[in-house]
Structure 1
Amino acid sequence: MLKVSKTLKGIALTSAALMSLSSFTLVAPAVLPNVVISASAAKAAKQTAGKKLKNGSYKLAEQGYSHGYRIVMSMKVKNGKIVSNKYDYLSPKGKSKTKDAAYEKAMKKVNGIGPKEYIPKLLKSWKKAGSNVQTIDTVTGATDSSWTIKNYAQQLVQAAQAGNHKTIKIDNTAALKDGTYRLAEQNYAHGYRIVFSIQIANGKLAKSNFDYVNAQGKSKTVDTAYEKAMKKANGVGPKEYIPKLNAELLKSESAKEPTAVVDTVSGATDSSSMFVIYAQQLLDRAQAGHHKTVKVSNIVYAE
């Protein structure tokens, strides 16, 4: 069994500006499973569904500074493929966190790694993963940043599929705004696609509804044949892991520490990964108050 801790330990650093190394602030729960999905292990596969990326440059930028830095990312697409990527944390003066010797020393002392190491590693992994962003490596000691880059890279891929060249602005320091926020995949894999919604009430996460549905709108949790086959092979089926993921997200809202960890369900690693990426995207939408359903032309690969 894969065991994952419920919460990440708080990081105590000498400087107030370095009290936490999370990319998220207390206003929004961070959703971070402690699981490694390596780009180096990903196999090249033929794309069978999902819109192709449109040529051009695509940008994303956090609007608020967390502990003196914000994330800026961009990618360039040519002939339907990502040909260049940029990813960094910048200060208000445009200085890279990789050049901050004090931050590097403090983080490395606690986590064994600093921005000078993990930022280039994540960038390299993203370049290798391309549009298959869930295979971006999770760098030990920089879990928050690893899952944030996956979330943002996914949003850039979606922008490139739509040919939307407007900079994606992430209101990362804003409070969650009340309402319901929805996301829906457009393509089916093994007969199912993800539909996901969260509800914010009184500035807090109140409901999580993540599911896989077929063309008739039937939930994978009631597909007895699928349940039996997956449980036989993986030891777990959708009847167990789907409710568990929803419960873990809600639990993260009430976590005493600022960064909560969603348990990755052993035997359902891929679903756990996409759950986290989409959950973070919905929380980004909730911070911005954007209620329009996110329609994801999810890329499906042949097996």
Structure 2
Amino acid sequence: MKKSFLFMIALSLITLLASCGNDSSTTDYQDGSYSAVYDAADHNGWKPFLNLTIKDGKIASADFDYVNQVGELKSQDQNYADMMVKITKKETTPASAKSAMEEQLIKKQAGPVDGVSGATSTKANFNELLSAILKNAEAGNTENIVIPMNDTYTVSDEADERGYTGTISVTYQNGEISKVAYDEVDADKVGKLGNESYNSMMKEHSGVSWEEAQAQLIKQLETTGSVDTVDAVSGATSLSERFKALAAKAISARG
């Protein structure tokens, strides 16, 4: 009876060890150099990228960073690091977040990596790039991967002679403009959008209210995705010109 009991224990241990040795969850990566980058800069002017080197089926090195339009790296921008610490009240900087996530990846040999305090969006960018690369690495596809940058770009101009400041926000989803918001606000933070008296006065004077013209301009930009194809609204020439100028700045912010 005792021998039978010991035999069963031994058999169970052998079975357990065998199953561990044949863990099907382990992913085999093909050796090579892999890279992924976003198709545009984020609203702060930085484009995230990730480069991985696979050697002997394992992730040997990782290089993650952001680059701006003049080729500067965010991890080396001390002014940005100081601003990040001041805003987040954390000691995390682009350089420290970069190193922490790269080290996690090398140790874990898989994604996603854990977050770094004070760098939530950085983690999201890293993991999205990583997921795309590892999928290619399984197949040995070393072609550069380009991922659409989904973000909102907001720009404002100077107050006009009546004290109104124009502000536009252009949101991109999967490489295309998905939403546009625009308003002109005075020094008291009162906007023309929803201002019944202002809209009634403009309607009576020009034949079109400010809100009607704004809606037409937004619809054109959302539909065509290009400022060049946005026609001026009759009776709202100044609004049209201002809208198009701000839209052009917001779109150019993507790089």
Normalised by the length of structure 1, the TM-score is 0.41
Higher relative contact order (CA 8 A, sep 6+): 1
Higher helix share: 2
